[in-house]
Chain A
Amino acid sequence: MLSIKGLSKTFFPNTINEVKALRNVDLTLEAGSFTCIIGTNGSGKSTLLNAVAGTFVPDNGVITVDGTAIGGWTEYQRAKLIGRVFQNPFAGTAAEMSIAENIVMAMRRGQSRPLTRAVTTQAKKEIADKVCMLKMGLEDRLDNPIGTLSGGQRQALTLLMATWLKPKLLLLDEHTAALDPKSAAKVAELTRQIIRDEKLTALMVTHSMQQAIELPDRIVMMHRGQIVEDYQKEDKKRIRVPDLLDTFDRVQKKELFDESVMQLLAEQYV
């Protein structure tokens, strides 16, 4: 479904602030698979998602969705294929507009915007039916500005909006990180439910090891702009939180292994 080949991005190249945010990343997601990306802060997880979503132009690499190379597409053109939920609960919805208006916009994601009335009685009914599923009592508040809702409620709605029209690819960037633990758990559960029921292909960045173990079919670990681990299928089933932490440790240990260590080991070991 998603195929990334040789993706690279350097911010501020050839300056002292140079950051190699992505280094030659290859990643292929099968249709209907759910993958989590974990990694230390600044390891390039968001940059990878943003590259797929088209927020910036990568230096190198080919991205195809469902066989179509989307490298030349703008961010809003890609939105036809890609649903997104951001870390900031306020980023995915228009605060001053009502719940219904927000959702109505998502109901035509990537489609034309005709000059017909947006929030019709029928649309509202359809919205109420689906919003009911969140069990947050929002179906009675469809005309309230979405800015009056809590972060958790907004994030749940953003998720609903991103998947209202089945996207070819769903991108979630730490979308539970800014929520209180209870809301985070609820949104995580909702994520799992929607992805499973709609059989979505999803790529999710998470800071929570627990989520990475429980939710996806596959875990990819990034470090310094590279994919350093990839747990799929059997490996994924076997792995537990301490294993992930060990892996983090190992990856960081490798960082500390420099040439002076090589010298040291040559003298005292093999």
Chain B
Amino acid sequence: MEIHAKKINQQLLITVNGRLDASWSDYFTDAFLAFIRNGEHQFVLDAKALSFLSSAGIRSLVRITKELRTVEGSMHIFNATEFVAGTLRTTGFGDWLLDEIPAELKHQNLQPEQNALPENLFLLDKNASLSLKTHTNWKPWQLVKTTDSETMQFPADSYALGIGSPSASGKLFGDFMVVGGHVAYQSPEEKSRPDFLLPIEAYIPEMEVIQSLRTEGSFSHLWRFAPDADKSAFTIAELAGQALSLTHAEMSAFVILAEIDGLVGAHLIQSPALRQAENSPAFPEIRDWLSFSGERVFVGEQAMIFGVVSQHNTTMNNDLLIPLPSMPTLAAHLHAAVFPYQPLQNGELNLKQQLDKFFNGPPPKALMHLIDDQRPEAGLGQSSLIRGAMWCGKVIGKENKL
């Protein structure tokens, strides 16, 4: 089987040559899913040379259509042979068939392939902003005192990151992040996967927190980023810098949903509350407290990142905003949750809907504090992302120290 793709206006014209049966259906499906991943959502399939379609082939088409539905895409077939058209009609998929060749394809004035999608910027609400509250009672690696922790509720407009424990879990302080009132929390154990607390009906998620950067409010901008010929991925420093420049602020908060090019990070694997000694753990004992990703991980999965970034010299800075070695004019703190890959719809996205979709879908695989690893030789670099969406907003107001 041969598959050729050509971009025509907003549609991708696919020409298929051969038999779509059990032996080719996986190949066909994978090829389509790769197109979808690349941001192509409108397909027309030229089936002139498609000589055979088996039920495995139909299953493959159904699978593709389902995938397209989640991104509001479409797929249509034209030029089908009698056999293929007949098979589709008898199996109830006749509405995929186009009776005639789509108008834009008729003249075959095919444009050169466009790889780079235009960068899309959406102004959501130019007055939107977020307020910041910092909680830094616990300083690493002091003993955790009862007065260090504060019980916090996270209503729907709160976005936060830090170290805390679900109230019911005792003192299992681990890394967490909050996006739109949804809490994802990595319990401090090596083996476990992240847990999450969702705002269902009247329930407002609650955490006992020893360290946090917490913002409340809404975002002003949405930027859809995607690779082009010169740029294959976006580093977190670039994205954070973009958030600051889009919002013209000294400090910004942002949420990113994007396909992962590679993450570098760390998380707690033992609750600091268990620490007996006042000093920080030495090597190699430190390995029992922290886990480091060790390589660029979760390639191809979907990241949900919450971060706060500030200009390095601003008075709003605090201990939790750490200068980025690769861009020393910025100080930032980012936590990322990793979800299995799901395609994102093109264009303007609603954050609330996306959060519901992700938190109600397959559970997150990991949660980590992102590290900008610029060690000489061994350095893994920064985390970077391929394509996705970033919602960002200005952070205002003096912080309220507790």
Are A and B associated in one complex? Answer: yes
- Provide the residues of chain A in CB contact with B378, threshold 8 Å: 258, 260
Is A269's CB under 8 angstroms from B371's CB? Answer: yes
Give the complex CA separation of A260 and B284 in angstroms.
11
Is A269's CB under 8 angstroms from B295's CB? Answer: no
Which residues of B372-394 have CB atoms within 8 Å of chain A's CB atoms?
A: 372-373, 375, 378
A250 within 8 A of B: yes
Q: Mark A237-270, 1 if CB is under 8 A from B, else 0.
A: 0000001001100101111111111101111111
Q: Using A253-B291, A253-B294 as known contacts, say yes or no to A268 and B371 having CB atoms under 8 A apart.
A: yes
Which residues of B287-312 have CB atoms within 8 Å of chain A's CB atoms?
A: 287, 290-295
Q: Using A250-B190, A270-B140 as known contacts, say yes or no to A264 and B371 having CB atoms under 8 A apart.
A: yes
Contact of B322 (CB < 8 Å), options: A258, A261, A268: A268
CB A169 to nearest CB in B, in angstroms, measures 30
CB A86 to nearest CB in B, in angstroms, measures 33
Q: Using A247-B191, A254-B287, A259-B283 as known contacts, say yes or no to A268 and B372 having CB atoms under 8 A apart.
A: yes
In this complex, what residue of A is CB-closest to B286? A262
- Provide the residues of chain B in CB contact with A247, threshold 8 Å: 191
- Provide the residues of chain A in CB contact with B292, threshold 8 Å: 253, 256-257, 261, 264-265
B224 within 8 A of A: no
- Provide the residues of chain A in CB contact with B272, threshold 8 Å: 270
Is B190's CB under 8 angstroms from A262's CB? Answer: no
Q: Mark B42-55, 1 if CB is under 8 A from A, else 0.
A: 00000000000000
* B interface, size bucket: 20 to 34
Interface of A is mostly: helix
- Provide the residues of chain A in CB contact with B191, threshold 8 Å: 243, 246-247, 250
Give the complex CA separation of A256 and B287 in angstroms.
10
- Provide the residues of chain A in CB contact with B268, threshold 8 Å: 270
Give the complex CA separation of A185 and B141 in angstroms.
51
In this complex, what residue of B is CB-closest to A259? B283
Which residues of A54-79 have CB atoms within 8 Å of chain B's CB atoms?
A: none
B266 within 8 A of A: yes
Give the complex CA separation of A209 and B190 in angstroms.
20
Give the complex CA separation of A253 and B368 in angstroms.
14
- Provide the residues of chain A in CB contact with B182, threshold 8 Å: none
B369 within 8 A of A: yes
CB B294 to nearest CB in A, in angstroms, measures 4
Interface centre among B268, B322, B371 (most CB of A within 10 A): B371
- Provide the residues of chain A in CB contact with B344, threshold 8 Å: none
By the criterion of a CB under 8 Å from any partner CB, how many residues of chain A are at the interface? 22
Is A265's CB under 8 angstroms from B190's CB? Answer: no
In this complex, what residue of A is CB-closest to B140? A270
Give the complex CA separation of A257 and B292 in angstroms.
6
Is A256's CB under 8 angstroms from B294's CB? Answer: yes
Is A264's CB under 8 angstroms from B375's CB? Answer: yes
In this complex, what residue of A is CB-closest to B267? A269
CB A14 to nearest CB in B, in angstroms, measures 23
B255 within 8 A of A: no
Q: Using A253-B294, A268-B322 as known contacts, say yes or no to A262 and B140 having CB atoms under 8 A apart.
A: no
- Provide the residues of chain B in CB contact with A265, threshold 8 Å: 266, 286, 290, 292, 371
Give the complex CA separation of A96 and B191 in angstroms.
51
- Provide the residues of chain A in CB contact with B369, threshold 8 Å: 269
In this complex, what residue of B is CB-closest to A229? B191
Give the complex CA separation of A253 and B325 in angstroms.
23
Is B291's CB under 8 angstroms from A269's CB? Answer: no
- Provide the residues of chain A in CB contact with B163, threshold 8 Å: 270
Contact of A250 (CB < 8 Å), options: B141, B280, B291, B375: B291
In this complex, what residue of B is CB-closest to A255? B294
- Provide the residues of chain A in CB contact with B140, threshold 8 Å: 270
Interface centre among B287, B290, B294, B325 (most CB of A within 10 A): B294
- Provide the residues of chain A in CB contact with B286, threshold 8 Å: 257, 262, 265
Give the complex CA separation of A255 and B295 in angstroms.
12
Interface centre among A247, A262, A264, A269 (most CB of B within 10 A): A269
Give the complex CA separation of A269 and B319 in angstroms.
10
Is A269's CB under 8 angstroms from B375's CB? Answer: no
Q: Using A269-B266, A269-B369, A270-B140 as known contacts, say yes or no to A256 and B295 having CB atoms under 8 A apart.
A: yes
In this complex, what residue of A is CB-closest to B324? A268
Give the complex CA separation of A215 and B290 in angstroms.
34
- Provide the residues of chain A in CB contact with B283, threshold 8 Å: 258-259, 262
CB B241 to nearest CB in A, in angstroms, measures 17
Is B372's CB under 8 angstroms from A270's CB? Answer: no
- Provide the residues of chain B in CB contact with A269, threshold 8 Å: 266, 290, 369, 371
Residues of chain B having any CB pair with chain A under 8 Å: 140-141, 163, 190-191, 266, 268, 272, 280, 283-284, 286-287, 290-295, 322, 325, 369, 371-373, 375, 378
Q: 16 A-B pairs, CB-CB below 8 angstroms?
A: A247-B191, A250-B190, A253-B293, A255-B294, A257-B291, A262-B283, A264-B292, A264-B371, A265-B286, A265-B292, A265-B371, A267-B322, A269-B266, A269-B369, A270-B163, A270-B290
List the 10 shortest-distance A-B pairs measured between CB atoms, nearest first. Answer: A256-B294, A270-B140, A253-B294, A257-B292, A259-B283, A261-B292, A257-B287, A262-B286, A262-B283, A268-B322
